């Protein structure tokens, strides 16, 4: 979806890296996160300042190969190292489908997946993954289990950007995760970053990445720095050259897609979509609603297996079951290329026989 914007930007984000550039493992030995390129750190902090979505300046920045690597780094860093039993990792249903898979993949002795945060059945320590706005349903969330003082929170804020959701406050949590994938669309660069309040936690996350991949590709970091810098610059521009402001351009595109999808779904009589309340956005200064990257679609009771039903109509979705809930829910992507999104609308319409 973001390709069209970056195409319009032409050569603004072209990065030239000579054969003799950036050979070392190290980027800045004085930084706690010694493989973090100073240019990327500057661009990350500058972007959060321009958008106002996170208090980055008094946090340590840890860069990762996507925020996926940082989720695992955070689980490692927040797990007690000397307990006989692994710590429980929870998230509220519907949760991002990768959380259970990545938590249990290597059968760690440090942490284990314990499912829905609402059903946590331990008085001991736990880690809660708080995804806001949430993948798959786009809902703004807070931690579920704030009781007992035993919980450690990881805020996955991959979608807390003004094209997806109103920016209601600068987030200021202990561990916050962001990613270029969702912010600018550069998923293939595999650049994510964590903003971490506590020095020891940031150090342990850095250690995890050191042992896992000895740092993060410098080519990717330099490209991401350039792209994030261009987005920050674009935030100064508004109004006449609308496409020039990255978040305005992307928000308008998503709003248009959501309008079209809602129209098709309304006509169907067999599907429904969540509604999002209007909220004041500090970034745009307007009352806006969320336009999530995914549509969380509910199918009528008469359809037993919604994924199968839609697949028969050549529409690929992910089942609610993968997100810890019922199969009458499916997740649709709202951020595909134009041609693909238009085909989705056409095929949904065809189901109702009104194409």
Interface contacts to ligand PMP, rule CB under 6 A: 66-68, 96, 131, 135, 156, 158, 179, 181, 187, 192
* Beta carbon of residue 188, minimum distance to ligand PMP (angstroms, whole number): 9
Look at the block and give the residue holding tokens 């945060």.
117
When the beta carbons of 68 and 325 are compared against ligand PMP, the nearer one is 68
* Beta carbon of residue 352, minimum distance to ligand PMP (angstroms, whole number): 30
When the beta carbons of 218 and 309 are compared against ligand PMP, the nearer one is 218
Q: Under a CB-based contact definition with an 8 Å cutoff, are residues 282 and 169 in contact? A: yes
When the beta carbons of 249 and 323 are compared against ligand PMP, the nearer one is 323
When the beta carbons of 54 and 264 are compared against ligand PMP, the nearer one is 54
When the beta carbons of 264 and 290 are compared against ligand PMP, the nearer one is 290
- What gap in Å lies between CA 191 and CA 226, rounded to an integer? 12
Spatial CA neighbour of 299 closest among 281, 312, 288, 282: 312
CA 263: distance to chain centroid?
26
When the beta carbons of 135 and 184 are compared against ligand PMP, the nearer one is 135
* Beta carbon of residue 282, minimum distance to ligand PMP (angstroms, whole number): 22
- Three-point CA angle 280, 94, 112, nearest 5°: 120
* Beta carbon of residue 149, minimum distance to ligand PMP (angstroms, whole number): 26
Q: Is residue 112 helix, strand or coil?
A: strand
* Beta carbon of residue 195, minimum distance to ligand PMP (angstroms, whole number): 14
Q: Under a CB-based contact definition with an 8 Å cutoff, are residues 55 and 170 in contact? A: yes
- Tell me the residue nearest to ligand PMP as measured from the CB: 66
* Beta carbon of residue 75, minimum distance to ligand PMP (angstroms, whole number): 13
When the beta carbons of 94 and 192 are compared against ligand PMP, the nearer one is 192
Please report which residue ranges of the chain form alpha helices under DSSP H.
3-8, 38-51, 66-78, 98-104, 180-183, 199-213, 218-235, 246-268, 306-312, 338-351
- What gap in Å lies between CA 292 and CA 257, rounded to an integer? 10
Residue 117 neighbours by CB under 8 Å, 6+ apart: 90, 91, 92, 93, 128, 143, 144, 145
Q: What is the DSSP letter of 48?
A: H
Residue 168's Cβ-count burial label (10 Å; 0-12, 13-18, 19+) is: middle
When the beta carbons of 154 and 264 are compared against ligand PMP, the nearer one is 154
Q: Supply 195's token pair.
A: 């903003």
* Beta carbon of residue 348, minimum distance to ligand PMP (angstroms, whole number): 23
* Beta carbon of residue 155, minimum distance to ligand PMP (angstroms, whole number): 11
Residue 138 to residues 193, 194, 279: CA-CA distances in angstroms? 21, 21, 14
Q: Under a CB-based contact definition with an 8 Å cutoff, are residues 281 and 166 in contact? A: yes
* Beta carbon of residue 158, minimum distance to ligand PMP (angstroms, whole number): 4
When the beta carbons of 135 and 206 are compared against ligand PMP, the nearer one is 135
């Amino acid at each position: 979806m973001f390709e069209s914007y970056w195409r319009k930007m032409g050569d603004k984000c072209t990065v030239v890296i000579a054969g003799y550039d950036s050979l070392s493992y190290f980027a800045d030995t004085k930084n706690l996160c010694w493989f973090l390129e100073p240019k990327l750190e500057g661009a990350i902090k500058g972007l959060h300042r321009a958008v106002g979505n996170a208090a980055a300046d008094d946090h340590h920045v840890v860069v990762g190969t996507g925020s996926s690597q940082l989720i695992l780094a955070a689980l490692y860093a927040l797990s007690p190292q000397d307990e006989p039993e692994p710590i429980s990792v929870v998230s509220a249903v519907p949760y991002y489908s990768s959380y259970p898979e990545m938590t249990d993949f290597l059968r760690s002795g440090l942490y284990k997946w314990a499912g829905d945060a609402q059903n946590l059945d331990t008085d001991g320590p736990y880690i809660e993954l708080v995804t806001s706005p949430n993948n798959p349903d786009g809902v703004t969330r807070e931690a579920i289990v704030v009781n007992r003082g035993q919980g450690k929170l990881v805020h996955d804020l991959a979608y807390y950007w003004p094209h997806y959701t109103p920016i209601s406050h600068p987030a200021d949590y202990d561990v916050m995760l962001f990613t270029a994938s969702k912010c600018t669309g550069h998923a293939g660069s595999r650049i994510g970053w964590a903003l971490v309040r506590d020095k020891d936690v940031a150090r342990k996350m850095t250690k995890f990445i050191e042992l896992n991949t000895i740092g993060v590709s410098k080519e990717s970091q330099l490209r991401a720095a350039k792209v994030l810098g261009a987005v920050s610059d674009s935030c100064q521009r508004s109004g006449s050259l609308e496409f020039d402001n990255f978040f305005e351009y992307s928000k308008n595109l998503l709003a248009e897609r959501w309008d079209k999808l809602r129209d098709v779904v309304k006509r169907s009589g067999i599907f429904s979509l969540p509604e999002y309340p209007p909220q004041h956005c500090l970034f745009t200064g307007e009352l806006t609603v969320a336009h999530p990257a995914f549509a969380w679609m509910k199918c009528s009771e008469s359809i037993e297996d919604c994924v199968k039903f839609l697949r028969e109509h050549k529409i690929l979705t992910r089942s609610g079951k993968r997100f810890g809930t019922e199969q009458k829910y499916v997740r649709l992507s709202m951020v595909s290329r134009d041609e693909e999104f238009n085909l989705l609308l056409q095929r949904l319409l065809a189901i109702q026989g009104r194409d």
